[in-house]
Amino acid sequence: MRTAPILSWLLSGLAWMPVAGHAQQGSSPGELPRASQLLAVPVGGTHIPLQKPVQQVANPYEKDPSAIAQGRALFHSMNCVGCHAPEGGGGMGPPLSDHVWIYGGQPAQIFMTIMQGRPNGMPSFANALPEDAIWKLTAYVRTLSRSPAEAVNEPPASKQSGKP
Amino acid sequence: MSRSRALLPAGLWLPAAAALAQVDGPMGYLFTHGPAADPATRLNWGLMAISVAVTVIIAALVLYASLRRRPPLPPADNGWPPPQPDTGGASWIYIGTAISTVVLLGSTIWTILTLSAVAAPHREPSLTLEVTAHQWWWEVRYRGSRKPDVMITANEIHIPVGEPVHIRLESDDVIHSFWVPKLGGKTDVIPGQTNFAWLQADQRGTYRGQCAEFCGSQHAHMALYVVAQDPPAFNAWLEAQKAEAGTPQAPQAVSGHEVFVSHCSVCHTVRGDSAGAAGRLGPDLTHLMSRSTIAAGRLPNNTGSLHGWVANAQAIKPGTRMPRMDLSPEDLHAVVSYLETLK
């Protein structure tokens, strides 16, 4: 019984630590989202009724051109292209260059899909790649669905620039 | 005259014998080699003999009745056709029905006895295998007495001769059916349900099996082999399979291992691999070279097949989960030379 307050005190201390670290390091790419955040991310996107809005977990490499280039290299070297085709056009696996995401298109959802694998052929890369590399891959995959006019390191363009 | 009469049956029997020899191919279920299949095979032959006999007897009687002629009866005095005299024809119906009833009842009892004979082995099997059906290959697990003591292989089941073997069947995706015709009947493999089958081989040999329930585009290329060995040879095989893979030594195999880790390890397991190749989607490759075929019987396991399969499995088995690999020729040769170290 006496351990409970101590435990909660310890936990609250732990909960503050990453925030403190964040304050110190700013938004440096070394700061990866924690597992507790990721496990709360709904994956699936096919549930009826619709789930709560996706909790936004930011990808530290989302706007980092060198990380995106590394993600692109991983996309080829890990043979993602075998199923999703170069540039993510799709083949055996679903295309990644459109706006349809079977298991969600938010960075954290893409991260979890790569991490855990998905039914019907998507393997889990949890043993093959460190989290850091999966976030880089996620950043690259997110660029595939942007139109060529949009530079990868710019925010998504407004409506008028995309469609003819 | 007598010579041509003697030739006629020979002329009929030769093609029949040739046809029977054809029937006894790898999937020929008319000749079986184990107690899980033999009662059903005897029943099969017996019912076939009865059916042939019934057809011949009925055809002969119909021919006899249609060819038989009676002299026409003289018309009656009043000009009407004469009444048919009762010649006792109805007794044929009673006799025929009685014979059919006895034969059908006998067949029913025989069938029920056969079903109970193949339902379970006559003694408790010493070995239980777990077979998981995937689109389109078979995953095979041998468990030891301790829980972590498990050996996984694919598409090739080894069993000791003369021992009943229990098989626990599960499906990873759709409905399949486990069928090794020379050793037993079909058992459906249903997702979400565990079914059991048993086999026993009375002769050494390699018996071909096949998925027997349409399960998708590569259903026809979902074969497995059951290798029945003497118990000492079987135990030696099992011990060899339990061993972990060694570290590649030759330079080409070492660079092939790097390619394997980046391109293959996410789906394939090599037990004991230094880089931790532990994928679960594809077959366990720890002792790949000990198997006689690859891709569930699609190709013989040799250097050429491995090159073709690794380079572009989609061209060989379209729809399989194995993606096309965009490998340079050097990497392809290297990865195959690494695979060939997995003895």
Q: Are residues B225 and B273 in the same domain?
A: no
Q: What is the β-pairing status of strands B176-179 and B187-189?
A: antiparallel
For A125, name the nearest residue in chain B, comparing CA atoms only.
Answer: B266
Q: Do A92 and B265 touch (CB under 8 A)?
A: no
Mutate to test the interface with B, among A79, A80, A116 (most CBs of B within 10 A): A79
CATH code of the domain containing B277: 2.60.40.420
Give B-chain residues touching A123 at CB under 8 angstroms: 266-267, 279-281
Task: Write out the H or E segment, with its range, that includes residue B137.
Answer: strand B137-143
pLDDT tens for A11-38 read 444 444 444 434 344 445 567 888 777 7
Q: Which of A81, A92, A128 sits opposite B266 (nearest CB)?
A: A128
In Å, how far is B263's CA from the nearest CA of chain A? Answer: 5
Q: What is the ipTM for the molecules in this complex?
A: 0.70
User: What is the dihedral sign for C-alpha A123, A126, A127, A133?
Assistant: positive
Q: What is the pLDDT of residue A23?
A: 39
Q: Do B263 and A78 touch (CB under 8 A)?
A: yes
3-state SS assignment for residue B327? coil
Q: What is the pTM of this model?
A: 0.78
* CB B274, CB B259: distance < 8 Å: no
Q: Which of B278, B325, B326 sits opposite A127 (nearest CB)?
A: B278
CA distance B208 to B228: 11
Q: Are residues B218 and B257 in the same domain?
A: no
Give B-chain residues touching A117 at CB under 8 angstroms: 281
B265 has a chain A CB within 8 A of its CB: yes
Q: What is the pLDDT of residue A24?
A: 41
Q: How does residue A150 score in pLDDT terms, banded at 50, 70 and 90?
A: low
Q: Which segments in chain B show pLDDT lower than 70?
A: 1-14, 21-23, 147
CA distance B24 to A21: 74
Out of B200, B231, B262, a domain closes at B231
Give B-chain residues touching A127 at CB under 8 angstroms: 265-266, 276, 278-279
Domain span at B190: 127-231
Q: What is the β-pairing status of strands B223-229 and B156-160?
A: parallel
CA distance B275 to B41: 50
Give B-chain residues touching A118 at CB under 8 angstroms: none
Is B225 within the bounds of a domain? yes
Give A-chain residues touching B262 at CB under 8 angstroms: 77-79, 128
Tell the residue number behind the tokens 């999966």, with chain if given.
A134
3-state SS assignment for residue A44? coil
Contacts of B120 (CB under 8 A, 6+ apart): B198
Q: Do B279 and A123 touch (CB under 8 A)?
A: yes
Q: Do A92 and B323 touch (CB under 8 A)?
A: yes
Residues of A near B (Cβ–Cβ under 8 Å) read: 76-79, 81-83, 91-93, 117, 120-121, 123-125, 127-128
Q: How does residue A71 score in pLDDT terms, banded at 50, 70 and 90?
A: very high
Q: What is the β-pairing status of strands B187-189 and B156-160?
A: unpaired
Domain count, chain B: 2
Contacts of B327 (CB under 8 A, 6+ apart): B259, B263, B310, B311, B335
Name the phi and psi angles at B239, rounded to 5: -65, -40
In Å, how far is B251's CA from the nearest CA of chain A? Answer: 21
Q: What is the pLDDT of residue A21?
A: 39
Q: What is the pLDDT of residue B22?
A: 66
Q: What is the pLDDT of residue A74?
A: 93
Give A-chain residues touching B258 at CB under 8 angstroms: none
Radius of gyration (Cα) for chain B, nearest Å? Answer: 29
Q: Which of B173, B263, B276 sits opposite A79 (nearest CB)?
A: B263
Give A-chain residues touching B263 at CB under 8 angstroms: 77-79
Helix A131-144 to helix A107-116 angle, to the nearest 10 degrees?
A: 120
Give A-chain residues touching B266 at CB under 8 angstroms: 78, 123-125, 127-128
Q: How far is CA B301 from the centre of its chain?
A: 20
β-sheet bridge partners, residue B224: B209
Q: Which of B261, B267, B326 sits opposite A123 (nearest CB)?
A: B267
For B326, name the nearest residue in chain A, comparing CA atoms only.
Answer: A82
Q: Do B324 and A82 touch (CB under 8 A)?
A: yes
Is B332 within the bounds of a domain? yes
Give A-chain residues touching B324 at CB under 8 angstroms: 82
Q: Are residues B260 and B220 in the same domain?
A: no
* CB B159, CB B146: distance < 8 Å: no
Q: Do B325 and A127 touch (CB under 8 A)?
A: no
In Å, how far is B267's CA from the nearest CA of chain A? Answer: 6
Is B149 within the bounds of a domain? yes
Is B241 within the bounds of a domain? no
Q: What is the pLDDT of residue A49?
A: 57
Q: What is the pLDDT of residue B285?
A: 93
Task: Write out the H or E segment, with its range, that includes residue B13.
Answer: helix B2-23
Is B10 within the bounds of a domain? no
Q: Which of B276, B314, B323 sits opposite A127 (nearest CB)?
A: B276
Chain A / chain B CB contacts < 8 angstroms = 45
Q: What is the pLDDT of residue B325?
A: 87
CA distance A81 to A88: 7
Q: Do B323 and A82 touch (CB under 8 A)?
A: yes
Q: Do B262 and A92 touch (CB under 8 A)?
A: no
Is-cis flag, bond preceding B110, omega within 30? no
Tell me the average pLDDT across A48-56.
61
Is B182 within the bounds of a domain? yes
**Residue A155 CB coordination number (10 Å):** 8
